Amino acid sequence: MTEPLSLRYPDPAIEILHPDFLKLRLYSASVERLATGLRWAEGPVWFGDGRFLLLSDIPNDRVLRWDDCSGAVSVFRQPANNANGHARDAQGRLLTCEHLSRRVTRTEHDGRLTVLADHFEGARLNSPNDITLCRRDGAVWFTDPDFGLHGHWEGEPGTPERPHAVYRIDAASGRIDCVLDDLAGPNGLAFSPDESVLYVIESRAAPHRLIWAWDHAADGTLSNKRLHVDADGPGALDGMAVDVAGNLWCGFGTSGAPGTEAAALDGVRVYDPTGRPIGHIHLPERCANLCFGGAKGNRLFMAASHSLYALYVNTTGAVR
């Protein structure tokens, strides 16, 4: 059952930080809780052809399925190798980052799993975290920090064999290239709408959480690294999604106690294409990751700690 967090319009949880956000907000739409009872919600991905959403519950070692027609939540896969981030390829197949197995897999249409990446230059990957697809060439991009090696909660204790990195899997050859290995805790990643820019969140940067940008060439190479967002102050960036106008919708959270100024930042921070913060969607839980979906692509799904939330907005996702 959908549960609105506020009965008021406009929803006070949707904060305008700059007038440009007003055109993205729907006056008569509010934040809704679609499901709860997870231990750490992550990696939402929308399946429009089936009108359902998949998301990970990492510590419970399962991938859940939320049905858009009935609102029912069911188990899609368990065990799931402590799956984290998900995406879909050009053929509509599910791509998954798995912490426990330290690999990236593809779920074929008949349910079989194909391993796309688990080693690089003879060394095991750490714990693939988030994943996206370059639509123009079909290449798969994923981040590989070591978060799943810290204990039994999201994987199992292990020793990193590679630096934290970002990898690209070539669609035609299957070749794996390490494209970046100079970030501390690379996490969420996404392309600009025209795929000319790659954004990567550096979630363990000190003292601030950063979003970096690179020019992305037709051959998959990156250049011109530059700082796009410095989320100074309390809070941490995690995953992100990009809309058709190039705005970045970023999962945001803090470790502040309930009722504190820091805890009030839990939710989603929205940045315009220049990196300026323009809006914030306040949630009662820190948000790890998000995606656009729904019948018209204008529904923002937010995986936040124990729950799945949604909000209709006046834009659509760059990837549909």
Identify the structural domains of the chain with CATH numbers, from first to last. Answer: 1-72+234-320 (2.120.10.30), 81-232 (2.120.10.30)
Pairing of the two strands 41-47 and 32-36: unpaired
- Residue 84 counted as an annotated binding residue: no
Q: Which DSSP state fits 317? A: B
Judge whether 314 is annotated as a binding position.
no
Please state, rounded to an integer, the average pLDDT across all residues of the chain.
95
Q: Are 300 and 311 in contact (CB under 8 A)?
A: yes
Q: What is the mean pLDDT of residues 82-104?
A: 97
Token representation of residue 75: 């188990």
Q: In the structure encoding, which two tokens stand for residue 140, read together?
A: 């798969």
**187 is an annotated ligand-binding site residue:** yes
Give me the numbers of helices (H) and strands (E) for the chain, helices first please. Answer: 0, 28
Q: Extract long-range pairs of 312-315: CB within 8 Å, 24+ residues apart.
A: 312/26, 312/29, 313/24, 313/25, 313/26, 313/29, 313/243, 314/23, 314/24, 314/25, 314/26, 315/24, 315/243, 315/244, 315/245, 315/247
pLDDT reported for residue 4: 87
42 is in an annotated binding site: yes
The band of 205, judged by pLDDT with boundaries at 50, 70 and 90, is confident
Q: Give the distance, in angstroms, between the CA of residue 230 and the centroid of all CA atoms in the same chain.
A: 18
Please state, in angstroms and rounded to a whole number, the distance separating the CA atoms of residues 168 and 205. Answer: 22
User: Is 194 considered catalytic here?
Assistant: no
Of 275, 163, 166, the closest CA to residue 222 belongs to 166
| 73 touches 35 (CB < 8 A) | yes
- pLDDT value, residue 274: 97
pLDDT 10s digits, 129-146 = 999 999 999 999 999 999
Evaluate if pTM is beyond 0.85.
yes
Mean pLDDT calculated for residue range 205-217: 89
pLDDT at 236: 86
Q: DSSP per residue over 136-148, as a string?
A: TT--EEEEE-SGG
Q: Which residue in the list 144, 238, 243, 266 is annotated as catalytic?
A: 238
Please indicate if the annotation marks 238 as binding a ligand.
yes
